[in-house]
Amino acid sequence: MDLNNNDDGGTDQYLWVPQGIDQDMVESYMNSIPLEKVPHLENPEGVKYYNKQLIQQLPLQDTTMDNIQTLARKDQHYLDAFKRERDPQVSTGVVLQADRKLTCRGCKDKIYEDEVYVFGHLAGEDAQWHPNCFTCCTCEELIVNLIYGVGNDEIFCARHHAEQIKPRCQGCDELIFCGEYIRTEDKAYHSQHFVCVSCEKGLSGEQHLLDEGQPICIQCYDEKFANKCNMCNKTIGVDEDDVMYDDEHWHDYCLVCHLCSCKLSGTSFVVKDGNFLCSECFRSTDDKKCNVCGEGFEPGTKRLELRGEFWHDTCFVCDVCKDPITSKKFIHHEGKQVCCECFDNKFAKRCHKCQQVLKEGGVSCGGVFFHRDCFSCESCNASIANQAFQQKDGMRYCTPCYKKMYAKVCTGCQDFIINGEFYTVETDNWHKNCFKCVSCGDVLRQQSFVQENGKIKLVCENCL
């Protein structure tokens, strides 16, 4: 809805407009506040908001005797004294058009030349606001009809400014001009209006509670809000001790030991087979004893169980260092319980290369153990955990490095001699199966062979 497109273009289409300005400035002012707060006759939401704030911020009972029920005519001087104090601090804001750049007191942003703003002279120098920023510091609503009050360098609507001078009764919504009154938390009441929110019984001088900030008598509280005892099913009054356990409530005199009937409130107790037991009765009936000290278990104390045996948490200790291992992992080793730290230091296998504990897996070689990554070739440092390797002088080598560094070449097949028996004649080497007669091809074992022209020629005895 475009509120600015009216057939007659007049300001009489608004419930209220700022005084002393022309129609163009009125439209500029209304365009500067949220649509839902514009009091235009064709804007139901804005009309509703304006009427609500008019009643809320300008209460008639703050001004005229005819609207005050709690002040007698003879006491009108109290109202007059209040008005003498209030009136110099209250004025009406003026809507102006900026002739230079200004700063808004509310949002601290700029008010640019030719923009409309609200000026409140009682607030001192630079007392200008955007129309949307001219709000009460208490209720944070637009100040209706621009009627504002000042105090403590803040601006208030008329209602909340009056409350800076006199307290307001929460019962009748009138200011308390004189006489005794009652204050509870941040709220004030005429003595006659301080009543139970439920039954309206007068509470002046009486015990009471607060229900969501509203006073309520003890009887109404007990009837509507007090807990029921899980044992006797009677109300637990506000003057009685309410003991809570497992989201249920008991009178302190109803929560007692099943065996000796002593009160359990404020003590440790145990629920066993649906019955409450005090510490002494629990110990006397519990057959579980600590495997170390032989003592029973106090209610609420930690009890450790392992293979049908029980320990106090302070008795379950490492058999090496004797420290409690309640919150630590432990290992059974040769009939003892050992904390992980002691097991690593005393019993765990360690890598022969890096000397760190083998946590999982590993490689065994020559009676010692290695991490898989540590079990590597002495030459290229590649892992040999998953491949064939060779040893020389106590060192381990992958096959490629061993061939390169140490392996002999067979004179017969020209391949590397890696494993197994081989023959050596002078500087030549043969695989066992390659050492054979060049004539018949039989493998030579103990047969003779000859040299020819200084070179070894393998010829068996039968072929000579």
Give the per-residue pLDDT at 9: 47
Task: Report the pLDDT averaged over residues 332-340.
Answer: 68
Q: Please give the Cα distance from 449 to 426 (Å, whole number).
A: 13
340: enclosing H helix or E strand: helix 340-346
The 3-state secondary structure of 357-377, one letter per residue: ECCCCCEEECCEEECCCCCEC
Q: Is the pLDDT of residue 4 over 60?
A: no
Smallest CA-to-CA distance from 442 within 424, 418, 413, 463 is with 463
Give the per-residue pLDDT at 80: 94
- What is the per-residue pLDDT across 277-295, written as a single tens digit (0 to 9) for each? 887 777 666 656 776 665 6
Position 131, amino acid: P
Q: Is the pLDDT of residue 331 over 70?
A: no
- Cβ–Cβ contacts within 10 Å for residue 149, how many? 27
- Whats the size of the chain, residue-wise? 464
Give the per-residue pLDDT at 369: 78
Percentage of the chain beyond pLDDT 90 is 34
The answer to whether the CB of 183 falls within 8 A of the CB of 158 is no
Q: Please give the Cα distance from 443 to 183 (Å, whole number).
A: 121
Question: Which has more pLDDT, 61 or 387?
Answer: 61
Task: Report the pLDDT averaged over residues 148-174.
Answer: 94
Give the per-residue pLDDT at 304: 66
Phi and psi (nearest 5°) for 193?
A: -100, 0
Which range, of 5-19, 91-105, 228-242, 415-429, averages the lowest pLDDT? 415-429
Which range, of 7-16, 82-91, 186-195, 201-210, averages the lowest pLDDT? 7-16
- How distant, in Å, are the alpha carbons of 75, 277, 366, 389 from that of 399? 116, 75, 19, 5
Give the per-residue pLDDT at 96: 96
298: tokens are 């106090």
The answer to whether the CB of 172 falls within 8 A of the CB of 163 is no
Domains recognised in the chain with CATH numbers: 1-57+93-162 (2.10.110.10), 303-345 (2.10.110.10), 363-403 (2.10.110.10), 408-463 (2.10.110.10)
For residue 439, the 8-state DSSP code is T
- How distant, in Å, are the alpha carbons of 280, 318, 343 from that of 292? 21, 12, 21
Confidence of residue 78 (pLDDT cuts 50, 70, 90): very high
Smallest CA-to-CA distance from 128 within 157, 100, 93 is with 93
Q: Is the pLDDT of residue 312 over 50?
A: yes
Alpha helices in 153-263 (DSSP H): 158-162, 218-224
Q: Please give the Cα distance from 381 to 390 (Å, whole number).
A: 14
- What is the per-residue pLDDT across 224-233, written as a single tens digit (0 to 9) for each? 777 888 888 8
Task: Report the pLDDT averaged over residues 219-248.
Answer: 81
Q: Which of 125-134, 181-190, 196-205, 394-403 has the highest mean pLDDT?
A: 125-134
Give the per-residue pLDDT at 16: 95
Q: Please give the Cα distance from 313 to 216 (Å, whole number).
A: 50
Q: Please give the Cα distance from 332 to 36 (Å, whole number).
A: 76
Percentage of the chain beyond pLDDT 70 is 75
What pTM does this model have?
Answer: 0.53
Which range, of 15-19, 66-70, 295-299, 352-356, averages the lowest pLDDT? 295-299
Q: Please give the Cα distance from 302 to 328 (Å, whole number).
A: 15
Position 311, amino acid: W
Q: Is the pLDDT of residue 308 over 60?
A: no
Alpha helices in 2-114 (DSSP H): 23-31, 44-57, 76-86
Task: Report the pLDDT averaged over residues 359-381.
Answer: 73
Question: Which has more pLDDT, 367 or 50?
Answer: 50
181: enclosing H helix or E strand: strand 181-184
Give the per-residue pLDDT at 7: 37
Residue 10 buriedness (CB in 10 A; 0-12 / 13-18 / 19+): exposed
- Cβ–Cβ contacts within 10 Å for residue 242, how many? 15
371: tokens are 């991490």
Q: Please give the Cα distance from 90 to 320 (Å, whole number).
A: 84
- Cβ–Cβ contacts within 10 Å for residue 218, how many? 17
Give the per-residue pLDDT at 104: 96
DSSP E strand stretches across 282-372:
303-306, 309-312, 330-333, 336-339, 363-365, 368-370
Task: Report the pLDDT averaged over residues 40-59.
Answer: 96
Give the per-residue pLDDT at 386: 67
Under DSSP, is residue 270 helix (H, G, I), strand (E, B) or coil? strand
89: tokens are 């601090």
242: enclosing H helix or E strand: strand 242-245
Give the per-residue pLDDT at 3: 37
Q: CA neighbours within 13 Å on the CB side: how many for 45?
A: 6
Q: Is the pLDDT of residue 23 over 80?
A: yes
Under DSSP, is residue 316 helix (H, G, I), strand (E, B) or coil? coil
Q: Is the pLDDT of residue 87 over 50?
A: yes
Contacts of 207 (CB under 8 A, 6+ apart): 217, 218
24: tokens are 């163009």
Give the per-residue pLDDT at 422: 66
Q: Is the pLDDT of residue 327 over 80?
A: no
The answer to whether the CB of 41 falls within 8 A of the CB of 47 is yes
Chain centroid to CA 49: 40
Q: Please give the Cα distance from 399 to 78 (Å, whole number).
A: 111
Taking all residues of the chain, what is their mean pLDDT, rounded to a whole number? 80
The answer to whether the CB of 240 falls within 8 A of the CB of 226 is no
